[in-house]
Amino acid sequence: MTLLTVDDLVVEHRTPGRPLVRAVAGASLTVAAGEVVGLVGESGCGKSTLARAVCGLNPAASGTITFDGHPVTPLGLRRRNRALAGIQMVFQDPYASLNPRRRVGAQIADGLRTAGDTVTAPADLLERVGLPRDFAGRHPHEFSGGQRQRIAIARALAARPTMLIGDEPISALDASAQAQVARLMRDLAVESGAGLLFISHDLSVVRLIADRIAVMYLGKIVEVGRTAEVWADPRHPYTKALLGAIPAPDGAGVLPAELSGDVPDPADPPPGCRFHPRCPVAMDVCREREPAFGPVACWLHEPA
Nearer to other proteins, 45 or 158 (CB): 45
Does residue 204 touch other proteins according to CB under 8 A? yes
Binding string, 42-81, against other proteins, x = CB under 8 A?
xxx-------------------------------------
Does residue 15 touch other proteins according to CB under 8 A? no
Binding string, 261-290, against other proteins, x = CB under 8 A?
-xx---------------------------
Among 259, 273, 297, 298, binds other proteins (CB under 8 A): 259
Which conformational region is residue 253 in: left (phi greater than 0), alpha (psi within -120 to 50 degrees), or beta? left
In the complex, the smallest distance separating the C-beta of residue 174 from other proteins, rounded to whole angstroms, is: 4
| Binding piece for other proteins, criterion CB under 8 A, among 88-96, 102-110, 133-141, 249-257 | 249-257
Does residue 235 touch other proteins according to CB under 8 A? no
Nearer to other proteins, 194 or 206 (CB): 206
Q: Residue 159: name the closest of 204, 199, 192, 208 by CA.
A: 192
Dihedral of the CA atoms 160, 161, 164, 166 (nearest 10)? Answer: -50
Helices (H), 160-236: 175-191, 203-209, 227-232
Nearer to other proteins, 63 or 244 (CB): 244
CA separation for the pair 123, 111 (Å, rounded): 13
Work out whether strand 212-217 and strand 36-40 pair parallel, antiparallel, or are unpaired. Answer: parallel
Among 250, 268, 303, 304, binds other proteins (CB under 8 A): 250
Phi, psi torsion values for 68, nearest 5 degrees:
55, 35
Are 101 and 147 a contacting pair, CB within 8 Å? no
| Whole-angstrom Cα Rg for the chain | 20
Residues touching other proteins, count (CB under 8 A): 34
In the complex, the smallest distance separating the C-beta of residue 232 from other proteins, rounded to whole angstroms, is: 6
| Binding piece for other proteins, criterion CB under 8 A, among 23-31, 119-127, 168-176, 284-292 | 168-176
Among 232, 268, 303, 304, binds other proteins (CB under 8 A): 232
Does residue 243 touch other proteins according to CB under 8 A? yes
Reduce the DSSP state of residue 262 to 3 states and report it.
coil
Nearer to other proteins, 265 or 288 (CB): 265
CA separation for the pair 233, 221 (Å, rounded): 17
Q: Residue 35: name the closest of 167, 205, 193, 185 by CA.
A: 193
Are 233 and 251 a contacting pair, CB within 8 Å? no
| Binding piece for other proteins, criterion CB under 8 A, among 70-78, 117-125, 202-210, 295-303 | 202-210
Nearer to other proteins, 2 or 204 (CB): 204
| Binding piece for other proteins, criterion CB under 8 A, among 51-59, 131-139, 149-157, 171-179 | 171-179
Instruction: Provide the sign of the torsion angle of the four alpha carbons 64, 62, 161, 175, taken in this order.
Output: positive
Among 71, 256, 271, 280, binds other proteins (CB under 8 A): 256
> By CB neighbour count within 10 A (0-12 exposed, 13-18 middle, 19+ buried), where does 255 fall?
exposed
Footprint on this chain of other proteins (rule: CB under 8 A):
42-44, 174-177, 201, 203-204, 207-208, 231-232, 241-243, 245-259, 262-263
